[in-house]
Chain A
Amino acid sequence: MGFAVDVRNLTKRYGEIVALDSVSFGVNQGEVFGFLGPNGAGKTTTIRLLTGQIKPTSGVAMVAGYSVIHESTKAKTHIGVVPEVSNLYDEMDAWSNLIFAAELYRVPKNERDKRTKDLLELFGLYERRMSRVGTFSRGMKRRLTIAAALIHEPDILFLDEPTTGLDVQSSRTIRNLIKELNKNGTTVFLTTHYIEEADQLCQRVAMINQGRIATVGAPEKLKASVEQHQIIEISFSPAENLEHKLADINHVNKVLQVGDKFRLHVERTSQVIPLLVSFAKENDLEIISINTLRPSLEDVFVEITGIAVEAMAREKEQAKRGENLG
Chain B
Amino acid sequence: MAKEWVNSIVEAFYIAKKDAKVYYFKAPNFTYGLLIPLSLFLAFAMAGQLNPKLIIPGLASLVILFGTTSIEAVAVVLEKQTGTLERLLAAPVSYSALVLGKTLAGFFFGLILAVVILFPLAMLSGIVIASPVLAIVAIIFTSLMFSALGVLVSAYAKWVPEAQMLSNFLRFPMVFLSGTFVYLETLPFQLQVVARFLPLTYSVEALRLSVEGSTLTSLYLIDIAVLAMFTFALMVLAAKILERKSR
Contact = CB atoms under 8 A, between A and B. Distances in A.
A77 B92 contact: yes
B82 A87 contact: yes
B14 A104 contact: yes
B170 interface: no
A279 interface: no
B84 A54 contact: no
Interface in A73-108: 73-74, 76-77, 79, 81, 83, 85, 87-92, 96, 100-101, 103-106
A52 B86 CA distance: 10
Contacts of A90: 82
A53 B84 contact: no
Q: How large, as a class, is the contact surface on chain B? A: 20 to 34
Q: Interface of chain A, helix or strand or loop or mixed?
A: loop
A51 B18 CA distance: 23
A76 B92 contact: yes
A106 B7 contact: yes
A83 B88 CA distance: 12
Given A55-B247, A83-B83, A76 B90 contact: yes
A297 B86 CA distance: 32
Nearest to A78: B92
Contacts of A87: 82-84, 86-87
Interface in A33-51: 51
A302 B169 CA distance: 54
A54 B90 contact: no
A228 to B, nearest CB: 43
A124 B87 CA distance: 22
B86 A100 contact: no
Interface in B11-27: 11, 14-15, 18, 21-22
**Chain B CB within 10 Å — which of A52, A79, A103 has the most?**
A103
Interface of B: 7, 10-11, 14-15, 18, 21-22, 82-84, 86-94, 246-247
Question: Nearest 5 CB-CB pairs, A to B?
Answer: A76-B92, A87-B83, A103-B14, A81-B90, A104-B91
Interface of A: 51-55, 73-74, 76-77, 79, 81, 83, 85, 87-92, 96, 100-101, 103-106, 148
Given A92-B21, A148-B87, 5 more contacts: A52-B89, A87-B83, A91-B21, A100-B14, A104-B93
13 contacts: A53-B90, A73-B93, A87-B83, A87-B87, A91-B22, A92-B21, A96-B21, A103-B14, A104-B93, A105-B91, A106-B7, A106-B10, A148-B87
